[in-house]
Amino acid sequence: MRRRLSILTLALIVTLGLAGVLPAQPSAPLSLEDCVEIALSTHPEVRLAAQRVQEAQGKLRQARSLNLPQVDFDTSWTEYEWLPPNKQKILGAGTTDVYSEVALRQLLYSGGRNQALLDQARLDLLGAHEELRRVRQSVVFQVTKAFFSLQQAQEVLKSQREAVNQIQAHLDIARKRLTVGTAKELDVLKAEVQLADVQQASIAAENGVAVSRMALNVAMGRPPDTPLETTQSTAAPSVVAAACPSLEEVLPAHPEWIQGELTLRRAEAGLTVAESLSRPDLALQASYNLEGGSFPPDIDNWNVGLRVSIPLWDSGNAAGAKGAARARIEQARTGQELLRQRLGLRLEEAQVAIRDAQERRRVTALSAEEARRALAVEQERYRVGAGSSIEVIDAQVALTRAEANAIQATYDYAVALAQLEYAVGRDPAPVAEHGAPSGAAGESK
């Protein structure tokens, strides 16, 4: 029994030791949708934007309190060397004054200042929600680009490895023919040089895959060295071209454009705040107090009144505030004009990129197929002694280049479609599944 326990204990120690020595195994291969979901859940930019929404919600609650009653409690203890006449009537012959008060204050009119501040807080919350939506769209776009970049790098590596195998096979044939005297030594030397070249290209492609994998991890908001495997596809990315809307169709729902409109409305509310500086304030005050020479005080009193505050001279403070507010309104309008141009350019660039990638896909696919057939012909001709080694190598180089161009065009097309979605400001499905901004609709009323 003791021997069995010893064996189990030893096995457990060895297992735990190996767990600390062996590298972490990568999880199951991730699809593009999986990568997007991870990014939307963990990316620091998304979390930062969500935290700003929470901050805006707190500021909105703070702004609402400006129009609500305020209740304060105040108590004090004062020891006098001698009592003022007004205190002698209350405190008698003592020198100790204990005072407690509960006061209610309600602002009745502020010249539109408090309502404008509340409007600004609501607009800030809506803007924070739109910023969160914009960040989510940006993260999805960056993850999509990085994912397809990794897919492209893996396809290029596959093509380079096939080229190594092809040149190695050709080198073997050349060496056999040299042995029997049907080939020149130059054929072998050229094949060896070409094999070294494609081996170097294969090594570079392996490094490209590693760099692309790190870039995808970073785009997902994870450490670069996180183990990562993605689903492999032997065919072109299954993406469908979306309709290309006009700029006027894009603007009303685009998060950046909505943010610009909210900025303009906030600046207009800021003008109201500035104008209120030269208007009177009206407030209702009510209090109940106790005062006496000991605690608790024994003399009570209450009062109710209105307080009016009228600014007479502020040395230009209100005028300066109104001038600055009007300038901010003009800045917001100018910013919208610039934003319209930027969004229009982004939309045009995306549409041009789609057309360019579509045409290159068609041309490069045809070129790769022709290069593949040409290599097969040259290999057969060389095998039967009718062709030269140089022609085989040239055909292999042409095929590798054609396949690289076809791979590039294929994934450029996929990225161009994602670029169009981002330019349009359309929420991808994973973003939409995270739900509409909570409270946004209610605050827009």
Does residue 374 sit in the same domain as residue 232?
yes
Amino acid at 306: L
Does residue 261 sit in the same domain as residue 288?
no
DSSP calls for 206-235: HHHHHHHHHHHHHHTTS-TTS---B---SS
Look at residue 82 and tell me if it is in a domain: yes
Residue 237: strand, helix, or coil:
coil
Does residue 344 sit in the same domain as residue 394?
yes
Does residue 237 sit in the same domain as residue 152?
yes
Angle at 45 between CA 44 and CA 49, to 5 degrees: 115
CATH number, domain at 176?
A: 1.20.1600.10
Model pLDDT, residue 263: 95
Q: Token pair 């404008």 is at which residue?
A: 116
- Report d(CA 216, CA 21) in Å as an integer: 26
Does residue 290 sit in the same domain as residue 266?
no
Does residue 89 sit in the same domain as residue 213?
no
DSSP calls for 87-116: HHHHHTT--EEEEEEEEEEEEEE-TTHHHH
> CA separation (Å) from 323 to 304, 320, 402?
39, 5, 63
Model pLDDT, residue 5: 42
Model pLDDT, residue 27: 67
- Report d(CA 213, CA 28) in Å as an integer: 15
| 8 A C-beta contact, residue 277 and residue 94 | no
DSSP calls for 263-279: HHHHHHHHHHHHHHTTS
Does residue 78 sit in the same domain as residue 211?
no
| 8 A C-beta contact, residue 71 and residue 125 | no
Look at residue 18 and tell me if it is in a domain: no
Q: What domain count does the chain have? A: 2
Sign of the four-CA dihedral 41, 46, 51, 53: negative
Look at residue 191 and tell me if it is in a domain: yes
pTM: 0.81
Does residue 176 sit in the same domain as residue 75?
no
- Report d(CA 289, CA 296) in Å as an integer: 11
Does residue 210 sit in the same domain as residue 267?
yes
Domain that holds residue 101: 69-108+279-313
Ranges of the chain whose pLDDT falls below 70: 1-27, 93, 233-243, 429-445
Model pLDDT, residue 235: 42
Does residue 229 sit in the same domain as residue 343?
yes
- Report d(CA 44, CA 46) in Å as an integer: 5
- Report d(CA 4, CA 6) in Å as an integer: 5
Does residue 297 sit in the same domain as residue 213?
no
DSSP calls for 308-347: EE-----TTHHHHHHHHHHHHHHHHHHHHHHHHHHHHHHH
Model pLDDT, residue 146: 95
Close Cβ partners of 444 (under 8 Å, ≥ 6 residues apart): 122, 126
